[in-house]
Every structure is written in structure tokens, then in C-alpha cells.
Structure 1
Amino acid sequence: MSSKPLAEIKLSAASCAIIISRVACAFLGLSGVLKHDQLLSTSLSSYSQLKEGVFLFRNGLDPYSGGNFRHSPLLLALFSVILPESRTSASLIWTSFDLTGAWALISIWKARQNVGATSKDALINASYLLNPYVFLPTLALSSSTLQNTLTLLSIKFAAEGRASPSLFLLSILLHVDLSTILLLLPILLLLITDPHSHLASPHPLTANLRRTIPLFGKYILYTSILAIASTIITGGVQWIPQTWGATLTLPDLKPNPGMWWYFFTEIFDHFRPFFLMVFSVHLLIYVVPICIKFQYDPLYATFLLLGVLGTFKAYPTLSDPGLFLSTLAVFPEVFSYLRHPIVTALLHLHAALLMPLFNHLWLNTGTGNANFFYASTLVFACANGAALIDAIWAGMRIAIGREVQNYVVVQE
């Protein structure tokens, strides 16, 4: 049997196993248990709030007037049509989102390696579908699962040089989560270059940057059209402060795995605007340095900015760092250059055990307090930061390592 059919059989078997496990979890009723878990969904991605908003919208009421509904009008329109009546059917739809995301990740891998079907496709598939950070938010029916799928599809089309679908999906992402604006610059660079690995041979960007101007114009056009559509759907612009504004002003301080909520719970109100500006700008300052440093490999720069989003965004769930960690599988050339992978893995394990434990002690048994849970999220942030720093270190070291290998060969 040739390697290509064998690879396809392995990929199909892995996908079937995942589908069966997801369906089994749906029938076990885990969605009802996990839907309110603060680690898996936030006010911007909660399925319960999505259902409430859809109910109000279907009955002719403005879901944004109450100040609690923060989903995009695009999601409101979509799920007003396809919102499932039972949790089992909802779990099947969310599983299809994950399967689409896994397919997009495999396509990115193929574009990166410039190959067809390989025996490693099943591993790439499993790195996404079996990642508990990705799997659990799907069981909780968090819309962050759909965000991950849209992100991977946008990167997939950019890696294949298909500008229109990539930028259109990126525009949808902007409406769903304002923080994804960070991905615009590396995806524009990816569209004018190629997705192949150039980490071992860094060089200045040779493509004409002026080619990004019409691409940026197309992105602005798509974003404007979607903004007009959102205004028509809701009958006004009241959706803007409740969706985009929520990311910038942080009106909901419910606990989540991020680092914003506790800080702004404790801060004095007259300092709040200043620190909101500092935290928002802090996200943006990584974009240009990373894109300049890895200008010869914009796909890797996109990967690193996914790590920045997973670590520092305002309303993260476990699926955000989960996407970053799963995407690492696309870059096997950096594995041998990771500096402290065991320490990073242990930090993630430590945080994964502490966060639900301290959350339970605080909110269920009353034997802990907010400091317990926030301390565990700081450990989680250290784990994400360690993974991000390790990835940056490996991406920079691989060129030096290749030069040393070439020097040794020449000397021999």
C-alpha cells in the first residue's frame, strides 16, 4: 500500500475517533455541566448569553439594550437561523467547527511543507482535536471555538495565496473579537510572500510592500460592508459599544483565565482609563517588532501573535492559548531548538490543575477567595509566556544552529 492512501486512512481513522468521542460527550450531557465554567467561556463567548440574545432578537427586542449581550450582530444573525434546539445537536454543530479548524490546520501544514497528504497529517489533526484546551470549550459550546476555526481558515487561505477569502474571514473575526486586529499585518505579509519555512535562512523582505496597500483596502472594504450589515441587522449602531467597546472598556469583570479582570476589579476608578489604555497598547506593541524580526517568515510571525493573543487579550478562554499550542505542530523545525519545553509543559499542567481547583474553592465551597483563583491564572499566564518566549527563542536560534552545522561540515 502506498504512503499516500495509508496517510489518508490514518487521518480518516483519527477524525472518526474524535467524532465518536465528541458525540459520546454530547450524549453524556457535559455541555450542561461546563456551559457556565469561567475558564471555558466569557461574556463575549457564552452560549447562554448567545441564546438569550437570539431569543430577544427573534421576539423583536433589542438584545443590546440591556447591556449584557456582547456577541457580534453577525453571530446573532447566523444563530437566529441555525441555533439548535437541543444540546446534542448544538454539540454536533460545535464539533463540526472543530473538525473544520483541524482541516484548516492540516492545510496550513501542507502549504508550509509544500506537500500533499503525508503520514504526519494525523498527528497535526490530533494536535488540535485532542488538545484539552480546545476540546473543553467546544463541550461548553463557547463561541471561541468558532473564532479559532475562522482564524485557522483565514491563515489557511493566506498561506495558499487566496487574498479575498482570507481577508473576508479576517474581517468577520474583527467583528467577533476586536483583538484579532493583531493578525492583520502578518497575514498581509503572508499574502505577498510564501508560507514556506525560511527560519534557517533569514533575509530582508524582498517583496514590494506596496502590494499590501490594495490588500489593506480590500480588508477595509470588507470590514465596512460587514459593519453596515451589522447596523442593518440591529437597526442602529448600539452594537458597537457592546461588542468592540467591551474589548476596550472591560465593562464585565467576571473571572476568566486572563490577567485583566482582577487588576481592574481592584484599581481605583480615576485610574481606570489610563490603565485601560496601557493594557490595550501593550497588546499592539508586539505586532511591528515580531513582523520586522520574522519578516522572512510571516507565517511564523502569525503563529507568535496567536501566542500574544492567548496570553494578553482582555477576555480569553482556554481555547486561545490552546490554538497557539496546537499550531506549534505546524513548525517541527523548531522543536529541537526549544529551550525549556519540559518546564513549560509542567507549568501548563500545574496551572490546569490549580485553576479549576481554586475556582471551586472560591465559588462553591467558600473556603478560598479571589486571590486563590487569580494566583492560579498568573501561573497560567507564566506558562503561556514561557511557551511564547520559547517559540521566539527557537525561531531566532534555528538560523544560528544551521550556520554552526554548515561551518562544521566545511571544516570537516
Structure 2
Amino acid sequence: MSVKNPVDEEVKRASIAQIVTTCVIGAIIRCCLSFSKYQSIIANHVEISTPLNSWKRVSEGLYLLSNNINPYSGDLLHETPFSLYIYRNVLRLFQGRIEYMFATVDVLTGMILFFSAKKYVEESYKEEIVNRHQYAKDVSSYLLKPDKIFLSPYYVLLAYLFNPFTVLSCVGYSTTVFHNFFLSAMLFSMVHGIAVICGIFLAICASISFYPFVLIVPGFLYFKNVHRSVVKALVSLKTFLAVSVLIVVMCTNYGKDFSYLSNVYGCILTVPDLQPNTGLFWYFFTEMFDHFRELFIFAFQINASVLYLIPLSIKFRKQPFLLTVAILTIISIFKSYPSIGDVGFILSLLPCFRHLFRCSQQGFLVGVIMLISTSLAPILWYLWIYCNSANANFYFGVTLAFAIAQIFLLTDILFAQVKREFVLKNGTEKKVDGEESLLYLE
């Protein structure tokens, strides 16, 4: 007969109260900003609102749809009919209170990420316990500590709920909030081994933003290598394909109307709207000669989707969660219409890799670049558009620095993983043939 430890019960209750308090504070911050006079200012910033995630466009699309007018007859709306169906029903659930709808969905995303991170960290710790006999003797400081298992997921919750990028996206009514929710649900089902749900939410994510379809590879690897189940891996793949086909059938009104394809996926792939954003497409294709446009469209889109997929999947096939975060980072850097909400989602997952921080080297540099570029972006936009004392080069310089910071962050985390694996296998000794040596990335 087992006896519960009263101390453990107190710690558990304190932890639950801490999580609930954090979520309530995060919701209050979002609601207060949404009801403030700054909401419209935030919603109009190009770093937050893009042609693909603007709630104003969704509102107009819903209005046209309610009046039996095809919302895809012009170039206003770039959301799928399936997305409109979701927004309309969720909006009815909240009786039209947009502020509460976005705040609730965003807080739910934070909670789902918390439980996803908790499961991932616990599984990583168990795997290290099993493989500890294979490690060198002097690497105890590099191993996961059981007293930090709860802290990492809680830091994920904090990083999402109080990240300025995610807060501003929520207050600006960016539909990236819903996309982040579906991504978090996909991650949750992936780490918990629920193959069918993982395939469903991945199909929803791919139908909204197109680029996440490449996540089927790390999802397949997670079920195969972590859950040790080829059956679940195949189920997730088949579910993804089946649900994707079903969504397309529903969006085309059972094969009768394909007008949305050019407005949604055509806009993502061909980039007709060159409104400035935090990405790299808009400036390049503003300056590009038209007869070279198709060539560089193909080059940019391959770079944003499948170019890095195979080499990264081969190298990090045993760390599919890290592979997932790496692919999401690449997508947020190189996609055609990115926003700071995409970056905020990725930054909130970094506490899952706290054990890699001691092997990383670019943390301070990345933080400084992100802070400076984020602060300068709205200033240079104002000088360019409203004061005419700057030009597009100034603003693009900031977005380029922001992209470089993300690239440094990604390469630093991946190299930290490689370095930690090397240390665990070979020990902390840095001498080769009796001389001091350095491990560096070529």
C-alpha cells in the first residue's frame, strides 16, 4: 500500500496555483491592451499584421460571405474557406467579443505548450537515465537534472504568455494566434503519441499557411524513433494526407469552386502583395526585374520549405523535437509573409533546450540584435512612411538584421546539440595528442 508524501502534495498544489496565476495574469494583460487606445495602433503595424493574417480582411470576408458574396472575387482575402468557418463559429461562441476570443485562444496555446514541454523534458530525462552507462564519467554537469523538469515547462509558459511578440500579435488581432494554437496542438499530440490528432492538426496548419506541410517528416521521425512505433508514424502520415484532401474538398464546395486557390496559396507562393513586413521577400522582389521573377520565386520558396529538410532530418533524426523547432525557425525566417507572432512562438520553445545553453555561444549577440532591430523597426517605418526622412533601405536593413539574428539563434542551438553529444560521448577533456583543442562548426 503506497502512502502519499504530504510534502509532494503541497509542492504539486503550489505548482498548479502558480500556473493558474500565470495564465490569469497573461489573459489580463492581453485584455487590458485590447481595450486600450493602443489596440488600433498595434493592429496597423506591418510587423504584426500582414496580408495573410490581418483580422480586418477576415472580418470583411465574413461580412461578404454572410451576404452571399464570393469573398475571393477580388484580392482582399487570403484565408481558406475552412479557416473562415473556424473563425465564424469561434466568434459565435464568444458572442462577437473579439478581445476575449483572441486572449482565450492565446492563453490556451500557452497551456498546451506547457504540457507539451513537460512531456518532452520528462521523456528526455528518462532516455538519459537509460543511456547513462554509455556516457563519459566526467559529464555529470551536462546531464539533465530532475529538479529542473518542472522549471523548463514553466519557463515555456512564461516565455509564451509574456513574450512581447506573442502579446502584440494577440492584441493586434493577428490570425497567427490561431495558427500558433493549431501548431501547439500538433506538438502536444506528437509528444504524447496521439498519431491521429497529430495528423489532423498538421493538416489544418498546412491548409492555413502551406509551409508547415514539411513538419510531417519530424512528426514521422518522432513516432518512429521516440515512441518506437512505425504503425503510429504511418497512421499520422495517412491521417495528414486524408484530412488535407478532405479540407480541400470542403474548401472547393465539393469540387464546384476553386476560386480560393489563387487567393490563398497563389498569394503565398507567387507573392503578389509586396507590402513590407519582417521577411525578406518584399524588398527583393520590389527591386527584381520581372523576367527574373519566376526563377527567384522558385529559389526563395524552395529555400523556405524543402531545401534544409533532408540534411537536417538526417543529422537530427534522433532529436525530432529539436528538428521540429529548427524547421519552424527556418519557415519563420524565409516564408513569404512572416510576422513577429511566428518568431514569438519559436522563442517560447527555447526553454525546452535549457540543457544546451551552456554549450551555446551566440546568446548575447542574438539577444542584442533582436532587441535593437525590434526597437528600430517601428521608428524607421515612421520615418519612412510618415516623415519622408528615410527610405525602404533603412527598414529593410532592420528586417535583414532580424533575420540574421534568427539564423544565428538556430545555428547556435543546433551546434550546441552537436557539441553536447560530443561531450557526453568523449568527456570534457579538450586535449588532442596532449595539446589543447577547440570544437568549432565549419
Q: Fold match, TM over 0.5?
A: yes
Task: Give the secondary-structure state (helix, strand or coil) at the position aligned to 1:257.
Answer: coil
| Amino acid in the other structure paired with 2:347 | L
Task: Determine the structure 2 residue equivalent to 1:347.
Answer: 369
Structure 2 residue 420 is the aligned partner of structure 1 residue 398: yes
Amino acid at match of 1:108: S
- The one-letter code matched in structure 1 to 2:358 is S
* Equivalence map 1:280-299=2 (5 Å): 280-283=301-304, 284-299=306-321
Q: 1:41 to 1:235 in 2, by over 3 A?
A: farther
- SS in structure 2 of the partner of residue 153 of structure 1: helix
Quick one: distance in 1 between partners of 2:231 and 2:24?
Answer: 45
Q: Distance in 1 between matches of 2:69 and 2:256?
A: 11
Alignment partner of 2:357 out of 325, 331, 335: 335
Aligned pairs (5 A) from 1:190-339: 190-194=222-226, 212-232=233-253, 236-283=257-304, 284-339=306-361
Larger radius of gyration: 2
Determine the structure 2 residue equivalent to 1:40. Answer: 48
Of residues 186, 190, 202, the one that matches 2:218 is 186
Q: Secondary structure at the match of 1:45?
A: coil
Alpha-carbon contact 2:58-2:77 (below 8 Å) kept: yes
1:17 pairs with 15, 25, 48, which one?
A: 25
The two structures, once aligned, show a CA RMSD in angstroms of 2.3
Residue-by-residue CA offset, 1:29-53 (whole Å, 9 max, x unaligned)? 4322222210001101001111111
Instruction: Give, in whole Å, the separation in 2 of the partners of 1:328 and 1:99.
Output: 18
Paired letter, 2:198: S
Q: Distance in 2 between matches of 1:129 and 1:404?
A: 39
Q: Is the 8 Å Cα contact of residues 179 and 247 (structure 1) preserved in structure 2?
A: no
Letter in 2 for 1:51: S
2:189 to 154, 157, 171: 157
What is the Cα deviation at residue 348 of structure 1?
A: 0.4
Contact 2:49–2:339, Cα closer than 8 Å, also in 1: yes
Query: Does structure 2 retain, via aligned residues, the 8 Å contact 1:94–1:138?
Result: yes
Q: Tell me, in whole angstroms, the C-alpha distance in 2 between the residues paired with 1:315 and 1:88.
A: 27
> Contact conserved, 2:219 with 2:233, CA < 8 A, in 1?
no
| Counterpart AA for 1:183 | L
How far the C-alpha of 1:216 sits from its partner, in A, is: 2.0
Give 2:172's aligned amino acid: A
Q: Cα 1:266–1:119, aligned 2, differ >3 Å: closer, same or farther? A: closer
- 1:113 CA drift (Å): 2.0
Q: Which moved more, 1:268-277 or 1:365-374?
A: 365-374
Residue 118 of structure 1 and its aligned partner are, at CA, apart by 3.0
Q: In structure 2, the residue corresponding to 1:52 is in which secondary structure?
A: helix
Quote the offset at 1:167 in angstroms.
0.7
Q: Deviations 1:98-126 (Å, cap 9, x if unpaired)?
A: 11111111111111122899355432211
TM-score, reference length from structure 1: 0.91
Deviation at 1:263, TM superposition (A): 0.5
Match of 2:200 among 158, 168, 174: 168
Gaps of 5+ in 1: 196-206
- Deviates most, 88-97 or 330-339: 88-97
Counting aligned pairs with the same residue, the percent is 24
* Contact 1:254/1:261 (<8 A) preserved: yes
Q: TM-score, normalised by structure 2?
A: 0.85
Q: Is the 8 A contact 1:62 1:234 kept in 2?
A: no
Partner Cα separation in structure 2 for residue 349 and residue 34 of structure 1: 18
Q: 1:88 to 1:319 in 2, by over 3 A?
A: same
Deviation by residue 1:247-284 (Cα, 9 ceiling, x = unmatched): 11111110000000110111111111110000011121
